[in-house]
A and B are shown apart, each in its own frame.
Chain A
Amino acid sequence: MLNYPSGFDNDVYDQLARMRVQLDQLFGGWGGTSGIRSVAGDTFPAINLGASPTQVDVYVFAAGADPASLDITLQQNLLTVSGGRKIKLPEQAQLYRHERFSGDFRRVITLPEDVNPDEVNASYHDGVLHITVRRREAVSPRRIEVH
């Protein structure tokens, strides 16, 4: 029933997981509204996004990415992360599984609107690209006197 190769094995728990994925696809899953720039949940690289009052943190799970290929741009509050990962398989080998993504990737994320594009930092460690963007200070509400 699945129209694409999946990473599921044949034991009972994976069969239940496969059935859940198929039913989700048939019935629209959670039935929510997708962001216009959103991608499928298993796209490489996976992304986590967190925010505190002072900054926004983006975690890009790109194991084995070529650090020289990583490109991060922030246009107002639109963050684009792109890069590449080339997987070279030896020529004389018998391939059993090839589940890991190989090639170029790009993900576009809409951050909260109050991020400051001039205060961005990024570091790549153990396969996780960690991007932090500071948020502009909230303008305090101005009290208006009523006479």
Chain B
Amino acid sequence: MNTSNEIKSRDTYGMQNRDEPDGYLRPAVDIYEDSSGIILKADLSGVSRDRLDVQVDGNTLVIEGQTAIDMPKGMEVLYADVGTIRFRRQFTLSNERERDGINAEMKDGVLTLDLPKRAELQPRKIEVIAG
């Protein structure tokens, strides 16, 4: 069905970022929201704090990271589940968040991003007065 010529010319759809020629890996994320704001956790194995880049451009949150693994000289790759060293994922944020309050922590390759909501927008319990 697929001849070897067809396989060679196939693009890596979905792995290619539109602007860059290299392929990116989309990291798996957990996103949840509680009363204080939104919390995002991403698996960025092999990315240390200094190779992590989190940016907010307007309302777009961009998470980028570069894996650094120790490869000895003369090593030949036999098998690779992970084909690229770059992670990237982006999200559109809403206006409710604190402009400058994003907190990022990196531990054992897991990124935890804290996106707090503006104080005045945190849910306030509304008292119901029974009449």
Q: Hey, which bits of chain A sit against chain B, CB under 8 A?
A: 7-8, 13-14, 16-20, 27, 30-31, 41, 43, 45-53, 55, 57, 59, 61-65, 87, 89-90, 92-101, 109, 112, 124, 126-128, 130
Contact = CB atoms under 8 A, between A and B. Distances in A.
A130 B109 CA distance: 13
Contacts of A95: 30-32
Given A17-B15, A48-B82, 16 more contacts: A7-B28, A13-B13, A13-B14, A48-B77, A48-B81, A50-B71, A52-B73, A57-B71, A63-B44, A64-B43, A92-B34, A95-B30, A99-B28, A99-B29, A126-B46, A126-B47
A127 B13 contact: no
Contacts of A43: 81
Measured as residues with beta carbon below 8 angstroms from the partner, the interface class of chain B is 35 or more
A46 B74 CA distance: 22
A92 B32 CA distance: 10
A7 B26 CA distance: 9
